[in-house]
Structure 1
Amino acid sequence: MDWTSAQLRALVELTRRGTITAVAEALGYTPGGVSQQIAALEKATGMQLLRRVGRRVELTDAGTTLALHAERILTTEAEAVEALERTRNEISGTLRIGLFATAAAEILPPALRRIRELHPGVTVRSRDMDVDEVYDAVVGGGVDLALGLDYPDVPIPRDPSLRVRELFRERFSLAVPAGAMPGRRRVSLADAGEQGWILPSVGSYYGRAVLTACRRAGFEPQVLHEVTDTAATLALVESGVGVSVVTDLMLRLRPSRLDVLELQETMERHIVVVFRSFAEDRPTVAALVDVLRACADRTPPGAREG
């Protein structure tokens, strides 16, 4: 059969996510691009793989059968890449890494500089994505490894096919408009219980983690602005419309005139690197993970190693 890995990956992701739009977001394509991949796969197999059911699509029996085999084909392909890398005298090859905004700005650049110094034959291609999507992107083979976040209060479900390595931990502080709590340096979350809050959706791991911490402190946060973007959150706090929790890495994304108060409660997030278990000994993956962990030894102010 004359098919491509990209076509098979699109089909496999469709079984996981259910919609063309969700597959497009996971793989970094447009919905039209995903539809073209599936159409090309149908042409290659000579069989209908999808059918329309109202506004949704579902796999035909042929599509379901091929998707099961496609997962094994993609896994075998990834293992073959690892085996070929091992035959080289030097560590070289191309890696695809998924990452979120803070990682793109603060964590990846020094790691890229270091990997070029140590292993000039390694090419790293990065893709910005929603932090809650990076685990699925690694499982599905959309990226080879990813930088992600984990929260002790709302831990990310662990897929047995993945390896998760903690790089370092960050403690949250409370960001308030300048002068909103004069004379205070250390506060409880409950001290901001009557304030308006700027938080991500409770559908996100981050949003649920903050909500859990607030409830443990004895109050339900009044969310006035549901915002995911860190820079936008800092701008809103600076403008005086609400409070939020922040880490040092988050604060470095946007210089802002606001007050940052230490929290009495311990509220953390863990920066992790995620990759598939069978790629643990792949030379390029191992090299980049080692570099990321070495960079984590020079953790940013306020963070500590895991």
Structure 2
Amino acid sequence: MEWTSAQLRSLVELTRRGTVTAVAKALGYTPGGVSQQIAALEKSTGMVLLRRVGRRVELTDAGMTLASHAERILATEAEAVEALERTRTEVSGTLRVGLFTTAAAEILPPALRRAREVHPGLTVRSRDMDVDDVYDAVAGGTVDLALGLDYPDVPIPRDPSLCVLPLARERFSLAVPAGAMPGRRTASLAQVREEGWILPSADSYYGRAVLTVCRRAGFEPRVLHEVTDTAATLALVETGVGVSLVTDLMLRLRASRLDVVALRETVERHIVVVFRSFAEHRPTVAALVDVLRSTAFDRTAAPPQPLPSRSAADPSAEADSRS
């Protein structure tokens, strides 16, 4: 029997995600491409690995058996890459990095500049993804490491196969329409309980974190606009249709004419780097993690500051980006 890593990874991802469409999104393939990988694997093994159940697919007994071995095969391949890297006298090779948009705009660029200076043999290929998907992407081997977020109020479940290291801690402030709270430097969440809110879906970790802290303050936020995109959120606050929570990095994604008021409550998010535990001593991973930790701290150490006001029509305003 012969198979490729891509075929095995497609099979493993099906056990995690349940649909060909979800696997395609996770691996950066088309749904047809995933189906072709599985079909080739079935031809190689001479076994039926999938069966369709309504709109979903599920693995047959043979598929489940091969998937369990496939995880070990892929892990062994990754360990072999790590062992080969350790035989080199300098850090060199290619790393696949997953990241959410704030990280793509503010954290990765200075890290890449620094990495080129100290590790010219290191090549980084990055991939933008939903921030809630980065943990699964690392666990599944889609990327070698990823930049992600964690919320103390709604911690993301820890996979024992993953190592999660903090890069920076950000405290949330209130973003309110300009002039809505004149002269006020601090406010509690309860003081905006009657306002309309602009928040991501309650199914997201960020949305759940905000719901949690609002409930702790004694109210249920009245969500008028369910928005994932950070720049769109800032634009909506700017037009006066609601309030939201922001961090310093989020504010940098779009210069907006709004007011930022410090929260009396401590509401935080942690920027983290995620990689598989057995890759901790892989030279390329260790090198990029070191660079990320130093440059991310430099980038986020300053307290949150609002950007100079700029109208939404300003042509120099940056493009919208997801949080």
Instruction: Provide TM-score, normalisation by structure 1.
Output: 0.97
Q: What is the rounded CA distance, in whole Å, between the counterparts of 1:54 and 1:266 in structure 2?
A: 46
Aligned identity (percent) is 83
Q: What is the rounded CA distance, in whole Å, between the counterparts of 1:54 and 1:187 in structure 2?
A: 51
Partner of 1:41: 41
**SS across alignment from 1:298:** helix
Tell me, yes or no, if structure 1 residue 154 matches structure 2 residue 134. Answer: no
Q: What is the rounded CA distance, in whole Å, between the counterparts of 2:52 and 2:297 in structure 1?
A: 52
Compute the displacement of 1:11 (Å): 0.3
Partner of 1:111: 111
Q: What is the rounded CA distance, in whole Å, between the counterparts of 1:297 and 1:272 in structure 2?
A: 11
Q: Which runs of 5+ in 1 are unaligned?
A: none
Q: What is the rounded CA distance, in whole Å, between the counterparts of 2:60 and 2:36 in structure 1?
A: 17
Partner of 1:267: 267
Q: What is the rounded CA distance, in whole Å, between the counterparts of 1:97 and 1:297 in structure 2?
A: 19
Q: Is the 8 A contact 2:189 2:217 kept in 1?
A: yes
Letter in 2 for 1:155: P
Q: Is the 8 A contact 2:178 2:257 kept in 1?
A: yes
Equivalent residues, number: 303
Q: Report the aligned-residue RMSD.
A: 1.0
Q: What is the rounded CA distance, in whole Å, between the counterparts of 2:9 and 2:190 in structure 1?
A: 47
Partner of 1:88: 88
Letter in 2 for 1:213: V
Instruction: State how 1:1-306 maps to structure 2 within 5 Å.
Output: 1-300=1-300, 301-302=302-303
Compute the displacement of 1:299 (Å): 3.5
Compute the displacement of 1:297 (Å): 3.3
TM superposition outliers: structure 1 runs of 4+ over 4 Å: none
Instruction: Provide TM-score, normalisation by structure 2.
Output: 0.92
Q: What is the rounded CA distance, in whole Å, between the counterparts of 2:266 and 2:64 in structure 1?
A: 46
Q: What is the rounded CA distance, in whole Å, between the counterparts of 2:194 and 2:178 in structure 1?
A: 17
Q: What is the rounded CA distance, in whole Å, between the counterparts of 1:259 and 1:99 in structure 2?
A: 28
**SS across alignment from 2:107:** helix
Q: Is the 8 A contact 2:99 2:147 kept in 1?
A: yes
Q: What is the rounded CA distance, in whole Å, between the counterparts of 1:52 and 1:269 in structure 2?
A: 40
Partner of 2:319: none
**SS across alignment from 1:13:** helix
Q: What is the rounded CA distance, in whole Å, between the counterparts of 2:103 and 2:117 in structure 1?
A: 20
**SS across alignment from 2:245:** strand
Q: What is the rounded CA distance, in whole Å, between the counterparts of 1:282 and 1:120 in structure 2?
A: 17
Compute the displacement of 1:161 (Å): 0.7
